[in-house]
Structure 1
Amino acid sequence: MKQLLNTLYVMTQGSYLSLDHETVRVEVNGKLQMQVPLHHLGSVVTFGNVMISPFFLGKCADDGRPVVILSRSGRYKCRMVGKTSGNVLLRQAQYEAVRDKGKAAAIARNMVAGKVKNARQVLMRGARESDSPEEETALRKASEIHADTLFRLKSICEIDQVRGLEGESAAAYFAVFDQMVKDGDRAAFAMDNRNRRPPLDPMNALLSFLYTLVLNDCISAVESVGLDSQMGFLHALRPGRPSLGLDLMEEFRAVIADRLALTLINRKQITEKDFEPRPGGAVYLNEDGRKTVVVAYQKRKQEEFFHPILGEKVAFGIVPHVQARLLARHLRGDLEEYTPVLYT
């Protein structure tokens, strides 16, 4: 499982990846920059103009190692994998559950409950650490909205109602999110609301980039157990949309991506100089900023916390795979319900 924590991110433009026996070679302008033993890698992610040898791609396909292609700014392009893994009966059970409105709503409800509970933990921590009574009050009010959402979710049986409550809590969360940024950096990272495609301010640009990294890991997790990443329960089905990956990511947004974004900003590891404006008002991380975030994200994946279902400590990078297996066991009928991960 330690292999799953290791992702090779290649961001240097003009890089060339090839395979030398069981070692990945990374060259730039014909010069060797690094070598990595292939068995240490769980996946490969490239940004922009990065070339990959067909032989290396074939080896990754044979091993079931995903290769993800992103634009230079981190926008998702495609994902290459080998043969479909897992038992076809599991995917059949997944499709049947998606069609069963009651079962689909129950799974989505639990996923949203996990998201709301974890987001509430972030808000309450922010309130405890705040030096401003006004900000503390605002953060606690937002956490109370989340507590009310958790109470209301218990009696919800319709998927549209689940989505509605999720939207209400998300709006309350992002309305106060920048108040968890220290005073000196708040003006640079102010955000009126969550926006994307494209992000219009540095905070949204940072969050979007981190969510892309988390989503890639969640898609790998659901596909590694044999589930169809496009057949989700909470997110509506659309051609080419990794709905189940997006579903699974909801539980991890706050504790992995959002907390990391705040840490990077408050420790001044990410500043205004790490962003660049684009035509039309878009804002993206520049190359130095992306490198800083990727390194921090890899370190975050190595950190451990106590998983209440497993009853032991696990690394954050392994949690999507644990949750995907729990979902698969529920769909097969081995577990009565899907239990989301809760961070305490």
Structure 2
Amino acid sequence: MTDVPELVPARMVNEFVYCPRLFYLEWVQSRFEDNADTVHGRYVHRSVDQGGGSMGVSSEDDPVRNARSVLVSSERLGLIAKTDIVEGLDGKVVPVEVKRGRPPKHGPAWEPELLQLAAIGLILRDEGYDCDQGQFYFASSRERTTVEFDDRLMQRVLDVVERLRHVAASDDPPPPLVDSPKCPRCSLVGICLPDETNFHTGRVDKAPRRLTPRDSAARPLYVTEQGARLGVSQRRVEVKVNREVVRSDRLIDVSQINLSGNVQVSTQLLHAAFREDIPVCWFSYGGWFSGIAHGMPSKHVELRRRQVAVAAQAGLPLARQMVVGKIRNSRTLLMRNSREPVEAAVQQLKDLASKAGETDSIESLLGLEGAAARSYFGSFGSMLKDDRLGTFDFDGRNRRPPRDPVNCLLSFLYALLVKDLTAVALSIGFDPYLGVYHRPRFGRPALALDLAEEFRPIIAESVVINAVNNGEVTKSGFVIRAGGVALEQSARRAVIASYERRLDHEITHPTYGYKITYRRVLEVQARVLAACMLGEIPEYVPFTTR
């Protein structure tokens, strides 16, 4: 059981009545996401949030004069609230809550809003004010409705607060609502994954609805020009070369800032990026993912606590599924793209995937993955277009540094994929360096590498195949130094563009059945992993395209 704060915000009474799971995620786990409704709600509240007026003693000598944004609390009741407006009327006070929509046809407000307003009335009474009613102002219809604070309503509030505290004291959140019409408009639906969670736990047997939020219009910003400097001006990210602005993007249109090699970034831009939850990622000139900066870490401490426990004691079942997903996706890619007979490799990969799903040790799993990689990369060249110059001849995997163009492309795209999964892991609340399969050695983001396993074939390696076969990169796009091969700047830009197009590609989710982009799939899979670690679903299901 967890400790519950002495004072419960009245707004949390609203959330609890609407959905206990929403309340738990938002208050206990401090997880929140904006959507159009929450942003509009803040806009509607912009005037009352500025405060003002006088909140004195409710009497003829010192009356209340329409106070705005007033913080009131009662230790005896265990409640606290920030009231939108408190009006004085004939020696009494009337709390007024501002709402963005319209009143329901059946009454003055919906039940969650009624109980929130009544909780404010209880606090005002406990502070000595005469308060026997409250009001709602609905911004869309510009009308007011009145609520009488009778004993029955006030007792309902106290009963809800008692139940709320009991739920908040639990170590586990309540289960999601089942097929609820509330879920599509909830701002936390992408965190909660209600239909997906219910599907995995067997609470429902039909395919989940497509509730996860659409991809944001914001996109990663990549800066590869050596000597470039990045700053912020009037909420725009500016890229300067030789003191001349060569690119300017609105901050809200940027989801990541990625810097390659000798590129500078201002402190002011870092502050703005942290404030807007925009990660800043650094790559070496050769394409190695070398660092990430972000704002304060997620407040989802319970996830990190469970992650430590799983990594220490129960990581094998998760690791098995990740490796099975990787081998199955490798097999599918080979079957779809090989220009030569590869039946022996395809059958071997099928057998190895089956064995990987049953192995009883990490050491055996490593051996099986290694055997699968040798078989797969032994046939990888069959998926590449014949090259008269031999530029893209492939004879197995090599790295640090890559010694041929194909391995150079693979290493760079793996770095981009791990970068994205590191950012996803941090945003969800994971420690990206504590994995269940890859060991946390040498500063590797082990968990991001774990999550990358099933996506290497269908994202990174698929991009290599398309870039080579479609002529997006040619021999002139590579630089050879001391036996190592690196991408030339224009080729690097072409590969990044191809990678981003792949992330935007929309597919049918093999488990849930709805359309989703690879960009969103990365987040959904990480949240499925989190749900598994938290014990909300029984097992981790990898993303496989066949």
Query: In the TM superposition, what is the alpha-carbon distance from 1:73 to its structure 2 partner?
Result: 2.0
RMSD, aligned α-carbons: 1.4
Q: Deviation string for 1:317-343 (max 9, x for gaps)?
A: 121111110000111111101111111
Could you tell me how far apart the structure 2 residues matched to 1:236 and 1:260 are? 27
More divergent stretch after superposition (114-123 vs 4-13): 4-13
Do the aligned partners of residues 228 and 97 (structure 1) sit closer, same or farther apart at CA in structure 2, a change above 3 Å counting?
Answer: same
Query: In the TM superposition, what is the alpha-carbon distance from 1:5 to its structure 2 partner?
Result: 6.5
Letter in 1 for 2:344: K
Q: Deviation string for 1:279-338 (max 9, x for gaps)?
A: 2x1011111110110111111111111112332111111211111100001111111011
SS at match of 2:221: strand
Task: Say whether 1:290 aligns with 2:503.
Answer: no
1:235 to 424, 429, 438: 438
Q: Determine if contact 1:17/1:24 at 8 Å carries over to the other structure.
A: yes
1:67 to 253, 268, 280: 280
Task: Name the structure 2 match of 1:199.
Answer: 402
Q: Determine if contact 2:387/2:393 at 8 Å carries over to the other structure.
A: no
Question: Whose radius of gyration is greater, 1 or 2?
Answer: 2
Task: Name the structure 2 match of 1:111.
Answer: 322
More divergent stretch after superposition (168-177 vs 59-68): 59-68
Do the aligned partners of residues 183 and 326 (structure 1) sit closer, same or farther apart at CA in structure 2, a change above 3 Å counting?
Answer: same
Letter in 2 for 1:117: R
Q: Deviation string for 1:105-149 (max 9, x for gaps)?
A: 10000000110111010111124xx2xxxx31xx22111111001
Do the aligned partners of residues 239 and 82 (structure 1) sit closer, same or farther apart at CA in structure 2, a change above 3 Å counting?
Answer: farther
Task: Name the structure 2 match of 1:274.
Answer: 477
Task: Say whether 1:306 aligns with 2:519.
Answer: no
Query: In the TM superposition, what is the alpha-carbon distance from 1:150 to its structure 2 partner?
Result: 1.6
Matched ranges for 1:220-231 at <5 A: 220-231=423-434
Matched ranges for 1:41-60 at <5 A: 41-60=254-273
Q: Deviation string for 1:40-76 (max 9, x for gaps)?
A: 2221111111111101011112222211111122122
More divergent stretch after superposition (63-72 vs 248-257): 63-72
Query: In the TM superposition, what is the alpha-carbon distance from 1:189 to its structure 2 partner?
Result: 1.2
Task: Name the structure 1 match of 2:155.
Answer: none
SS at match of 2:545: coil
Q: Deviation string for 1:10-31 (max 9, x for gaps)?
A: 0111211111122111111111
Query: In the TM superposition, what is the alpha-carbon distance from 1:239 to its structure 2 partner?
Result: 4.0
Matched ranges for 1:19-58 at <5 A: 19-58=232-271
Per the normalisation by structure 2, the TM-score is 0.59
Higher helix share: 1
Q: Determine if contact 1:123/1:140 at 8 Å carries over to the other structure.
A: no
Letter in 2 for 1:29: N
Per the normalisation by structure 1, the TM-score is 0.93
Do the aligned partners of residues 82 and 315 (structure 1) sit closer, same or farther apart at CA in structure 2, a change above 3 Å counting?
Answer: same
Task: Name the structure 1 match of 2:455.
Answer: 252
Task: Name the structure 2 match of 1:172.
Answer: 375
Q: Determine if contact 2:316/2:437 at 8 Å carries over to the other structure.
A: yes
Matched ranges for 1:329-340 at <5 A: 329-340=531-542
Letter in 2 for 1:158: S
Could you tell me how far apart the structure 2 residues matched to 1:164 and 1:154 are? 13
Q: Determine if contact 1:113/1:153 at 8 Å carries over to the other structure.
A: yes
SS at match of 2:216: helix
Query: In the TM superposition, what is the alpha-carbon distance from 1:4 to its structure 2 partner?
Result: 8.0
State the aligned residue count: 333
Q: Determine if contact 2:324/2:354 at 8 Å carries over to the other structure.
A: no
Could you tell me how far apart the structure 1 residues matched to 2:486 and 2:217 are? 28
Q: Which runs of 5+ in 2 are unaligned?
A: 1-213
Do the aligned partners of residues 292 and 119 (structure 1) sit closer, same or farther apart at CA in structure 2, a change above 3 Å counting?
Answer: same
Query: In the TM superposition, what is the alpha-carbon distance from 1:2 to its structure 2 partner?
Result: 2.4
Q: Determine if contact 2:218/2:252 at 8 Å carries over to the other structure.
A: no
Could you tell me how far apart the structure 1 residues matched to 2:333 and 2:389 are? 17
Runs of 4+ residues over 2 Å off in structure 1: 1-5, 184-187, 308-311
Query: In the TM superposition, what is the alpha-carbon distance from 1:77 to its structure 2 partner?
Result: 2.1
Letter in 2 for 1:13: Q
Q: Determine if contact 1:105/1:158 at 8 Å carries over to the other structure.
A: yes
Q: Determine if contact 1:107/1:338 at 8 Å carries over to the other structure.
A: yes
Task: Name the structure 1 match of 2:224.
Answer: 11
Do the aligned partners of residues 292 and 239 (structure 1) sit closer, same or farther apart at CA in structure 2, a change above 3 Å counting?
Answer: same
Do the aligned partners of residues 186 and 193 (structure 1) sit closer, same or farther apart at CA in structure 2, a change above 3 Å counting?
Answer: farther
Q: Determine if contact 2:220/2:258 at 8 Å carries over to the other structure.
A: yes
More divergent stretch after superposition (187-196 vs 266-275): 187-196
Q: Determine if contact 1:185/1:265 at 8 Å carries over to the other structure.
A: no
Do the aligned partners of residues 160 and 262 (structure 1) sit closer, same or farther apart at CA in structure 2, a change above 3 Å counting?
Answer: same
SS at match of 2:387: helix
Letter in 1 for 2:371: E
1:80 to 293, 296, 300: 293
Task: Name the structure 1 match of 2:305.
Answer: 92
Letter in 2 for 1:335: I
Could you tell me how far apart the structure 1 residues matched to 2:417 and 2:436 are? 18
Task: Name the structure 2 match of 1:190.
Answer: 393
Q: Determine if contact 1:323/1:340 at 8 Å carries over to the other structure.
A: yes
Could you tell me how far apart the structure 2 residues matched to 1:5 and 1:312 are? 22
